[in-house]
Chain A
Amino acid sequence: MKALIRAAFLLFSVLFAGVSMAQHEGHDHGSDDASHQATEAVEAAEHAAHDGHATEKFNPGEMIMGHVTDEHGWHLWGHTSIPLPIIIYNTERGLSLFSSAHFDHGHKTYAGYFLHEGKILATDAPDGTDVHHATENEALTAATWDVSITKNVLGMLVSIALMLIIFLSVAAGYRKRGVGAPKGLQSFIEPIILFVRDDVAKANIGPKYERFMPFLLTVFFFILINNLMGLIPIFPFGANVSGSISVTFALAAITFVLTLIHGNRHYWGHIIAMPGVPKPVLLILTPVEILGVFLRPAILMIRLFANITAGHIIVLSFFALIFIFGEINAGLGWGVSVFSLAFTIFMSMLELLVAFIQAFVFTFLSAMYLGAAIEEPHHH
């Protein structure tokens, strides 16, 4: 177990480095005007090539980010994608509800909106205008609230349905058989539930662990199932739900709010004024500890996001290699594909492990923070 954990940690650091670089590249994209104009020129050229049915240059960055980030509509292959409902509330225009197919893969305007790099922008251009001729109405964009059912939202709904199917059947099993020998799915899930109870909740929270069990179990299985679903590349799986920073933000925020609510006098006493520490040192320590209260959930958020997204990026990079070499020479592409496939299989095996470890780490650390918040003082 020790060796396993150590290996896993090594992996985390490697993966973390990878994703921070990828993020950096993504941010640089629109930062300065020159590069922005250059990108626009490239886009226009690509568009022209596309219209003329000329061969498109393979763009690995675009392919990878397209798979890893959220989108309006679910891309399947080539130019085939499943349209998803667009739900927009605009404080000026009111509610709009239509299918993402109207955007024609982001090429056309509809109902006064268009897609630009995955974001919905408002415009005054009439329906069906080419996006390259549509200008953004910035005031209206600022008044726009996009609550669409996106790829990630749909993926999350599927995972919730899956969780309901699993756990309602497990619950039915207990209702029927009581605490006797479990059967079927129940016997697979029971050890995991006991693992979360004994090694996560009891170990970190102590005798009052029971009231946090619903939260810890839900978080654990939600992350685990979404991690595993993200590894299956076929619709309706494969959305990068647990690798979406919005999702991990929400999960970490729940842990954060719970520690704030349940934090007792002892917990806050140790943060505001650590007993046994001289006053001048407290001048530095107290701000640091208050900062720590916010930093801990922030790190919880980043860790899950970075590890899962990095896993997706690595697998997609191996696939991108095939096409990069294939553009040089078709035979070379075929040759590389053998190695790419082998590495992808290896990485997928590793990701299976990471899927479990990350769910465990998130739940374990949440339990640890909750345990620290409700800990009663020891009387010496």
Chain B
Amino acid sequence: MYRYDEFDARFVAERTAQFKDQVERRLRGELTEEEFRPLRLMNGLYLQLHAYMLRVAVPYGVLSSRQMRQLAMIAERFDKGYGHFTTRQNIQYNWPRLEDVPLILEALAEVEMHAIQTSGNCIRNVTTDQYAGVAADEIEDPRPHCELLRQWSSLHPEFSFLPRKFKIAVTGAPFDRAAVKVHDIGLRMHRNEQGLPGFEVIVGGGLGRTPMVGKTIRGFLPADELLPYVTAIMRVYNRFGRRDNKYKARIKILVHEIGVDAFSELVEAEFAKGDHGEAIELAAAEVARIEAYFAPPAYEALAEKDPAHLAHLFENKAFARWVRHNVAQHKVPGYSIANISLKPTGGIPGDATADEMRLVADLAERYSFAEIRVAHEQNLVLPDVATRDLWALWQALDAAGLATPNLNLVSDIIACPGMDYCALATARSIPIAQAISRRFADLSRQEDVGDLHINISGCINACGHHHVAHLGILGLEKKGVESYQITLGGSADENAAIGQLIGPGFAAHEIVDAVEAVVRVYLDGRRGQEERFLDFFRRVGVKHFKEAIYATA
């Protein structure tokens, strides 16, 4: 994985020292809260419902074992013994004391981490496919391009005060696991006719109060032109994006209001202004330098099938089930991608204790070249596990309660912190996720239902990605109580779609029954198990569900 060079190390050290001084001045009363607030937000520090919250950047979701151990240490020493992995592939601490935050940032800097670009109207931490570099279906590893974007965007003076926050997602695989079509900029890798890699550039996607699927403005951009082209997009947005109304300030509104063709023309005109020769050369040289950090680890030459592994699959049903759901195909024969679900029955999606973090760090060191990924679905991934080691890995995970075999099933729920933690929330998310998870605790039942993604947001800002869930739940306030709306048919993959509202909201005590009713409509009407929930929805439409759900309500 990428290691800081002298420039990275210096700017993080400088920023840490700078914020330490700012905190001390705040505590001495030399800065008012009004003066301090933008400074703390630039360092990922929020004031939430019960306490401060520190959001730490995990660049494109990649962590080393050493970093994960440091995150565990921070959770234990400065927080309440746990952290929360987010839909932005980051980690949040829910209880830091202001006076401790400089020490936390110092501890992060020791392992080449920080909390910059996790808040404010800047280019946020770039996200990508959690299987980047190891996916069997990948065209090319997107991480060097993510790292290039990270270096370019970090403290970029021209783009530090944008009209609104800005999120870039990259995928190197045709099957989109990074939800690139619902980001401000989504980059999908393709090869051109000459076999060279490049990106389809998608702009203006997003969730929140105005959900939109992004529009393609370039079918193929040569990879080495990425920075100048993204710069052109940012300049158009920075100039024409609205600053008079924060609800209309995201790039999706600009693209929508002027139209994708006009927007595209502005970008191409901006792009045509410069001679990008030098920038392209520099970027190509930098990507080549960065690529060395992402060279594949020392894989052994292994057979595709391991006899002992096959025997364990045959003998142990629980192991076989975990492999079936949580293990994905690796690009190298004899290796596998192991997903660690952070969604145990009745658990809090995305939460991990310090002990769990340390265990994952140890297991990554033993079985996965000391590397871990954070998935935007709020799970963890060991990307490079020899298939013959899956049995030992599973036993260790199972003993710690981390072997829930539910990836992509009903209980693999994405949930924002909601009103249990978040100051912006209008309703709670986590208790709803927990109740659904308990209702569908029977794994055989979950397997019968199959591929069904439930996402829950506790307010219209949609951190829980409810719009792109097969079954989305949005928590609102209605007449002084929590109320939950259901949307159906959303999708975050390469066929991204925004879910459709089925009707009036449900009270907190009704919502789990309503979810079960939706599932029942699907099970009763599907053309066999091979017709997935989303296929069924696309065949019958929202009206079919609406009539069935509200008729029985």
Does chain A bind chain B? no
Q: Which residues of A contact B (CB under 8 A)?
A: none
Q: Which residues of B contact A (CB under 8 A)?
A: none
